[in-house]
Structure 1
């Protein structure tokens, strides 16, 4: 579509669930082979068309594509996902729904790690193979590196892990240090937090803060006090897992204020929509924090759609599910919009240290390079 001579793009909700509801039992045939077009195949086709349209719209006028009123189908960044514990189905569903990039913070695995080597292997995986795996399904993967506060209370091990962190902080795709902060708010956790704040300053990295599940407000205030003591710039720090108790003070102190949308806990989509309406989108970030527990890798997608249904302006939604995360996590330039606007073609025949995302007999996805498509 063209408006006043300027190319624009009107999005269409193209996930398989929406298409299945739209088709309502109707059968469509492929014009090439006469085979049945399933909702999954249609979703992939529509997704490819939307990606091409977005790329051309941005290339043509230097602006984000227009979004239709009452709906949101723009690009989404989920800036807090523990994809090492998710399946390839999750990657496929996220890509179909418009997620173009994810950030994976270093995390607790569910049980204590007992050696430095287990941390080193974990950091290597989220900065290496997981980055490759995401790319094989059309999603750009980044990570943050740090010692999670839950594992800071084994002091001897914590010190050894912190000593090992610098080798990972300059790796490609590392956008911040995190998750840092407090769990039980012990002296050992405080020591680890302070040491890692100084590392973030040394390596000029933003910080992602984990706020405690218990005593959240005092723990959040204490964290910000410590950051201030160390002279850390609030505009380079995301305070995550916020709720209605903490939002005002986090924003008043100049920090980026993130919210994890979890089923029945932390923050829900309805509450998030109400907060955006009340406070506006400035410095607010929505993420899923999906992990090995009961969580939803499409939480950001669902929240964006619900906000649209509740009358939140499309540009405000765009800020909280895309632009704000890119602004802060792009500060060290490892995360750039061009990575997904002009992505490398997917070829699932590609191996990573001899490994493929496929298993025997599965047909690889092989996309045409963007240049060959006339872009």
Structure 2
């Protein structure tokens, strides 16, 4: 089983202060053993806002620099999305940071604008959402849209309206964090559907399998959305195993867990999945900007 996790927050899992899982720093090793060969890490709200250009730039630099190196040491190919997260759009100190985005949207490792969308559906979030969809169009990138965890149906309908107003091609947009109550709102819009398999704020493998049975595997991305909290980056594999037990074929699983995310993020023209098997068997050994993942750099 080959797995591409299209939405994960690995950097927020490396700090003991932020993650309750004692194995967080071993995640890439566990993921590689489970068949994860590639990931897309989205820009994220880190528990408190990035209140200065320097702090947000540090976050983006981590996503396009150190983190791809760290993942590569375990044979996992890492790409990123960058954006001002919806939760931060409500902080007046953060909104000027939108001006920083163009500097990063041209980086080779960046395959989409995201996460953008809604947290509380405020006017400030409206403005940031529309502005970042415009950036996605200007930079010829897909968009990863976060739907709110509260009032989700209203948030999905509002998100679809903003996407339509922006003029972006629906097939270049994935709306994430769907559940049984909202999937029907999007299935026939041309946008992609994202299912986050997450114990607190997302779906479970059995629930996801039932939705795949009802709506089919087309334009569906299954991700772990693993982050600083109670989450598990191996739930993508658990979903694939649940699909097989439910009678889906190996080809169905490969479509959902590999070919779909490759198709969606491949629209960026920057997805590099060359020599994956060689990278998994012979991960690079070295340093990034003089740093290694080993204690003492040896």
TMscore range, shorter length: over 0.9
Structure 1 residue aligned with 2:169, among 220, 233, 242?
Answer: 233
Take 1:264 and 1:195, find their aligned partners in 2: how far apart are those partners?
30
Instruction: Rate the CA distance shift 1:151–1:339 in 2: closer, same or farther, 3 A.
Output: farther
Corresponding residue for 1:96? Answer: 33
CA contact (8 A) 1:273 1:312 kept: no
CA contact (8 A) 2:200 2:231 kept: no
Corresponding residue for 2:266? Answer: 330
TM-score by length of 2: 0.93
Structure 2 residue aligned with 1:121, among 58, 82, 103?
Answer: 58
Structure 1 residue aligned with 2:12, among 85, 88, 94?
Answer: 85
| Secondary structure of the corresponding residue to residue 304 of structure 1 | helix
Corresponding residue for 1:286? Answer: 222
Shift of 1:88: 3.7
* Deviations, residues 6-65 of structure 1 (Å, cap 9, x unaligned): xxxxxxxxxxxxxxxxxxxxxxxxxxxxxxxxxxxxxxxxxxxxxxxxxxxxxxxxxxxx
Take 1:273 and 1:174, find their aligned partners in 2: how far apart are those partners?
30
CA contact (8 A) 1:280 1:316 kept: no
Structure 2 unaligned blocks of 5 or more: 14-23
Take 1:221 and 1:286, find their aligned partners in 2: how far apart are those partners?
21
Take 1:339 and 1:271, find their aligned partners in 2: how far apart are those partners?
34
Shift of 1:263: 1.3
Corresponding residue for 1:346? Answer: 283
Take 2:186 and 2:297, find their aligned partners in 1: how far apart are those partners?
52
Q: CA RMSD in A?
A: 1.5
Q: What is the total number of aligned residue pairs between the two structures? A: 287
Corresponding residue for 2:141? Answer: 205
Instruction: Rate the CA distance shift 1:279–1:142 in 2: closer, same or farther, 3 A.
Output: same
Take 1:323 and 1:88, find their aligned partners in 2: how far apart are those partners?
28
Structure 2 residue 144 is the aligned partner of structure 1 residue 144: no
Corresponding residue for 2:105? Answer: 169
Corresponding residue for 2:186? Answer: 250
Shift of 1:291: 0.3
Instruction: Rate the CA distance shift 1:104–1:339 in 2: closer, same or farther, 3 A.
Output: farther
Instruction: Rate the CA distance shift 1:301–1:155 in 2: closer, same or farther, 3 A.
Output: same
Structure 2 residue 68 is the aligned partner of structure 1 residue 131: yes
Take 1:156 and 1:113, find their aligned partners in 2: how far apart are those partners?
8
Corresponding residue for 1:153? Answer: 90
TM-score by length of 1: 0.74
Shift of 1:269: 0.6
* Deviations, residues 201-238 of structure 1 (Å, cap 9, x unaligned): 00000000000000001101111111101111110011
Take 2:288 and 2:189, find their aligned partners in 1: how far apart are those partners?
43
Corresponding residue for 1:22? Answer: none
Structure 1 runs of 4+ with >4 Å offset: none
CA contact (8 A) 1:140 1:339 kept: no
Shift of 1:85: 2.2
Shift of 1:113: 2.4
Shift of 1:336: 3.5
Take 1:257 and 1:339, find their aligned partners in 2: how far apart are those partners?
28
Instruction: Rate the CA distance shift 1:124–1:221 in 2: closer, same or farther, 3 A.
Output: same
Take 2:28 and 2:107, find their aligned partners in 1: how far apart are those partners?
23
| Secondary structure of the corresponding residue to residue 165 of structure 1 | helix
Structure 1 unaligned blocks of 5 or more: 1-73, 363-375
Corresponding residue for 1:301? Answer: 237
